[in-house]
A and B are shown apart, each in its own frame.
Chain A
Amino acid sequence: MRSFVSGFAVAASIAAASTPMSAVADPAPDVGNWQSVLEQARGQTVYWHAWGGEPRINDYIAWAGGQVLERYGVEVVQVKLTDTADAVTKVLSEKTAGVDDGGAVDLIWINGENFAAMKRNDLLFGPWVEETPNFDYVDVAGKPTVINDFTVPTNGLEAPWGMAQVSFYYDTAKLDSVPKSAQALLEWLAKHPGRFTYPQPPNYMGSTFLKQVLTEVVDDPKVLQQPADEVDAQKVLAPLWGYLEDLQPLLWRNGQAYPQNGAAMRTLLADNEVDIAFSFSSGEVSSAIEAFELPDTVRSYVFDSGTLGNTNFVAIPYNASAKAGAVVLADFLMSPEAQLRKQDPQYWGADTVLAMDKLPADMQNAFANLDLGIASLSPAERGTVLPEPHPSWMSLVETEWQKRYGVVQ
C-alpha cells in the first residue's frame, strides 16, 4: 500500500513537471568552473535515457540518482529504453521540429555506432568531459578506448562509464574442454553441430561476434582501425565470409533462426539448446547464476589470442534541458566510489574505467578486495584486449551479412 501511495506522489510530480515545454533555455555550463556547475545543477532534474532491460543495472542507476540528489540536489529519472537508438531518434525528432532548447533527453548511455552517428550529426553538447574533477582518475594511458570509442575520438563529448570485454561461457558440468579461437570453434562445432549460435546481426552482440572472428581471420588487423572506405574492404572481409561459409550450416537450427539478443542466447544455454555462449561482461554471467538464470556450474573464459573490448559512455545531447545536472551526474558516475560499487557483482559487476595507481590507497584496497563472483574473470585471466574496428566496418559487415544470411528462405 505504501508503495502505491508513493506511486501517486510520483505520478503527481510527473504531471506537475511535464507542463508544456519551458521556454527558458538552459545556458551551457562552464565546466572549467566546477563551483558554478554545481550551483547551476542544484534543483535540476536529469532525464537519463538508459537501456532498462536489466533490473540490477536499473537498481544501480536508482542508487546513483539517490546519491546525486543527496549530495548535489540533482534529481535523476531513468527513462528505461529498449534500445539506445530510441533516445537518438528522440533528439533527432526534436531537431526536426526545431526544438534546440529544452529537449527531453539530458543524458544517454551510449557508445559505438550510436555515438558516431550523434557526433556526425552534431547532436551532442560539449566538449565537457576532460574538465570534470573525476576524469583525473580515468585510466587514459592504460585503457585507450576511454577516449576512442570504436576508434572514433570522443573529443570530450562523452564521459567513460564502464569497460566491457567479450568473454565466452559454458557449463562445466557438460563440457570438459572448450575451443579457444575462432578456428578452434569451427572445428569443435563440426564435431558438435547445432551446439553454438550467435545473436542475429544487427544486434550488437551478434555483430560483435562477427567482428571478433574478423579480427582473428583478417590478414592484418591494423587495417580495421581505418575507415572501411579508405581500403579495399572487399578484400579485407573475404576471409570472414570464407569462415562463415563453413560455420553457418553448423549453427543451431542450421542458421535458419537466431536468438535475438545476448539474453536470448543465455536462455538457450540454460535450456541446453547450445553449449557455448558469450557476453560482454563475465560479471554478468555471475549475476545470471545468482538470479537462477544459469546453473551454478557455468564458467567464463576468453580466446587465447584475446577478445574484443570497448568502453561505454554517457553523453549529453546538444539541446538537453539540464546540462549542468547531467555533467554533475556524469562526474559522479566516474567517481571511485560509484565505480567501486559498479564493479561489485553484488550490485552490477562491470569493470571500472579508472586507473588503480591514480586512486587513493584506501580505494585501491577496496577495489583489490572485491569478490568478483564465481563466473567472473579477474583482470589477469582476461588476457589481451583487442581493439574494436572502426564503426564503418560494423555497418559494412552487417549489411553484407544481411544479404548473405539474413534471408534464408
Chain B
Amino acid sequence: MGNWSRFNIASIVLGFGFLYLPIVLLVIFSFNESKLVTVWAGFSTKWYTQLWHNQALLDAAWVTIRVALISATCATVLGTLAALALVRYTRFRGRMLFSGMVYAPLVMPEVITGLSLLLLFVAIGLDRGFWTITLAHITFTMCFVAVVVQSRLLSFDQSIEEAALDLGATPVRTFFAITLPVIAPAVFSGWVLAFTLSLDDLVISSFTTGPGATTLPMKIYSQVRLGVTPEINAICTILIGVVAIGVVVASIVTKQREAQRERDERAAFAQS
C-alpha cells in the first residue's frame, strides 16, 4: 500500500507515545526513593520490599488471582459454546435475543451490570462474597471470549469438519478431534483476556462483593482515593509486569503454534 509518509509515521509515534508515556512514568516513579511521587530523589526498591509486609494487600492479591483463575476457565467454556452457537447454528428460536445478550455486555456500563447482578444475588438469597464475584466475572468475561473465538470460527474451513462427519465421526468427537485443535489458539487468547479482565475489574466486584472478599483493585482504589503513593506505583508496576509478560508469552506461543500448523498442513498437501 502506497508510501508511508512522514505524517503517518509522526501520528503513530505521537499516538503510541500518548499510550505508553503515562505507564512508563508510573513504573519509573515506583523506584523513587522519596515519598513524593513527582520529585525524583534517587533509585530505591524499598517500596517493593514494603509490599511483602503488607498482609492485607497479599490477601487481596490471593483472592483476586483465585477469582480470575476460576472465572476465566468457566468463561472460556461458556464463551466457546456461545461462539459455536452463534456461528454454527444460524437459525434457532431466539437467536436474535441470544446474539444481543452476547454483544450487549461488551458495551454495558459496569455500574449497571454490577447493580443488576447484586440485586439478582440478593433476590435469590445467595451469600455475597468470593463466589458471587466469581459468578459476576464469568458472566461479563464470557462475552469477550465468545467474540474472540467467534472471529476465529468464521475463518474456519468447515469442509474438514464435514469430512470428519461424513467419515462417521460423531459431532462430539469431531469437535474434540478437529474443531477444538484448530480454534485452540483463539480459545487460549480468550482465556488470557478473560483472566486479565477479571484481574482488573473494580466496579462489578465492588457491587457483588460481601464481607471478607476484597480484591486487589478494590484495595488499590481505596488507597488511591487517599492520594498517590510510591507503594501503589510499586503494586501497579508488578501487575503491569505480570500482564505484559503473560501477553507476550501467550502471543509468541500462539504464533509458533499457528506456524507449526501451517507447516503441517502444507506437508499434508504435499504428500497427497
Do A and B interact with each other, yes or no? no
